[in-house]
Amino acid sequence: MTFMNTPVEFTARVVESFGRRAIVRTADGERLPAELFGKRLSIVCGDEVNVRMPRPVAAAAGDEPRIVSVQPRRTLLQRTDSRGRNEPLASNLTLLAIVVAPEPPTDPYMVDRYLAGAAYAHIDGAIVVNKSDLDSSSTLGEAVEEYRRAGYPVLTVSALNSHAIDDLRAFLKGKTTMFAGQSGVGKSTLTNALIPDLERQTRTLSDSTGEGRHTTVSTALFRMPGGGELIDSPGVRDFAPALVSDAVVQRGWPEIVAAAPQCRFANCLHLREPGCAVIAGIDAGTLSARRYESYKRLLNIMRDLAPDYERRK
Ligand SMILES: Nc1nc2c(ncn2[C@@H]2O[C@H](COP(=O)(O)OP(=O)(O)OP(=O)(O)O)[C@@H](O)[C@H]2O)c(=O)[nH]1
Ligand SMILES: [Mg+2]
Ligand SMILES: [Zn+2]
């Protein structure tokens, strides 16, 4: 009878997490509620975890499966709060797709910080321009062209009339993608459009004037038909990446990375150094002055938050 006392353990994927509790998906595709075992353990959506089933007697008494350990993460997307503390958002992503739309208006500096945070975590970045059914000629056009020129994939779609949704699905195939961005840009509506039968709650018409309202409250992972995984996340007001050193900040700007080898100094931060190819590119108009300004702003944000960061090291 010894096998009865051997706890059954298996690996599973965290598809939704709420503090100390989570929903995990087993290899067979079954969804199970589970709780964290041990105070030091912390998990995020996307984690691969080891789960231990309760013994039959404990299960009968209401015990849930327990997450006992987390497998090494291939990637981890994190943000920094205003006090310089790290907050993990999702793991094992291969792509961060920042969703923007003509409404609500886009803050391109926040999009840049998202793209930089992805780069620091070795996650690819892309821009999804949603609501192509609305007139986007106004503010968005310029910023979107900057991303194209910097080398990011840009996909223009409409979740409402399905324009280019098949192209988006094909682009996301085989990837583990998180949709991120401001509240109301249509992340959940897009998730529903990409995954038939999914009915993730989206902002209703009666709510549509409620600016700053966040409809989605938890980060959740779904499998896409045809391959790939998609994580829908709550909208944000702001985003700052995990802290990195001065020299690393520029890795979030592929166009700066491409120009930097032509700078006179190998450790050029492209601020006031003589012979800087990045500043020459701005003067010549081949590099975006706004994107460069954004780089300098993030460098300053990182330096402002760094004292806290240094103390924690
Ligand atoms: N015109 C138009 N409206 C859209 C489109 N996609 C989404 N919407 C509308 O935009 C509003 C917000 O959509 P959601 O999917 O809830 O937005 P979200 O990004 O998930 O918002 P949060 O969960 O709060 O972060 C809803 O009223 C949608 O119907 C689109 O392609 N075109
Ligand atoms: Mg949503
Ligand atoms: Zn330089």
Query: Could you give the angle at the alpha carbon of 125 between the alpha carbons of 153 and 298, nearest 5°?
Result: 120
What's the pLDDT at 2? 46
What is the mean pLDDT of the segment spanning 165-184?
Answer: 97
Q: Is 191 in the pocket of ligand 1 (CB under 6 A)?
A: no
Looking from the CA of residue 189, the nearest atom of ligand 1 is: 15
What are 150's two structure tokens? 């910097």
- SS3 state at 96: strand
Q: Is 176 in the pocket of ligand 1 (CB under 6 A)?
A: no
**pLDDT tens column, 38-93:** 888 999 999 999 999 988 888 888 888 999 999 999 999 999 988 888 999 999 99
Domain edges within the chain = 2-70, 76-232, 246-312
What's the pLDDT at 1? 44
Looking from the CA of residue 132, the nearest atom of ligand 1 is: 31
Looking from the CA of residue 207, the nearest atom of ligand 1 is: 27
Query: Residues within the annotated binding site for Zn(2+)?
Result: 263, 268, 270, 276
Per-residue pLDDT for 188 more than 70? yes
Q: Is 203 in the pocket of ligand 1 (CB under 6 A)?
A: yes
What's the pLDDT at 196? 86
**How many angstroms does the Cα of residue 103 sit away from the middle of ligand 1?**
9
263 pLDDT tier (thresholds 50, 70, 90): very high
Let me know if the fold of 76-232 is the same as that of 246-312: no
Nearest CA to ligand 1 atom 22: 183
Report which bound ligand comes closest to the CA of 99.
Answer: 1
What are 179's two structure tokens? 């949709």
Task: With beta carbons less than 8 A apart as the criterion, state whether 67 and 41 touch.
Answer: yes
**For a pocket test of ligand 1, which of 100, 103, 203, 208 has the largest count of ligand atoms closer than 8 A to its C-beta?**
203
Task: Please state which of the ranges 121-130, 166-175, 196-205 shows the lowest mean pLDDT.
Answer: 196-205
Q: Which CATH number fits domain 2-70: 2.60.40.2890, 2.40.50.140, 3.40.50.1860, 3.40.50.1370?
A: 2.40.50.140
Q: The domain at 246-312 falls in which architecture?
A: Orthogonal Bundle (1.10)
Query: Residues within the annotated binding site?
Result: 130-133, 181-189, 263, 268, 270, 276
Q: Which CATH number fits domain 76-232: 3.40.50.720, 3.40.50.300, 3.40.920.10, 3.90.1150.170?
A: 3.40.50.300
Query: Residues within the annotated binding site for GTP?
Result: 130-133, 181-189
Pick left, alpha or beta for residue 197 (phi over 0 → left; psi -120 to 50 → alpha; otherwise beta): left
Looking from the CA of residue 217, the nearest atom of ligand 1 is: 23
- Quickly count: other Cβ atoms within 10 Å of residue 300's Cβ: 11
- Quickly count: other Cβ atoms within 10 Å of residue 248's Cβ: 13
Strand partners of residue 31? 25
Q: Pinpoint the alpha helices (H) of the chain.
A: 2-5, 56-60, 108-120, 140-150, 165-172, 187-194, 246-249, 254-259, 277-284, 289-312
Per-residue pLDDT for 159 more than 90? yes
**How many angstroms does the Cα of residue 86 sit away from the middle of ligand 3?**
29
Please report, rounded to a whole number, the percentage of residues in the chain having pLDDT higher than 70: 91
Task: With beta carbons less than 8 A apart as the criterion, state whether 78 and 241 touch.
Answer: yes
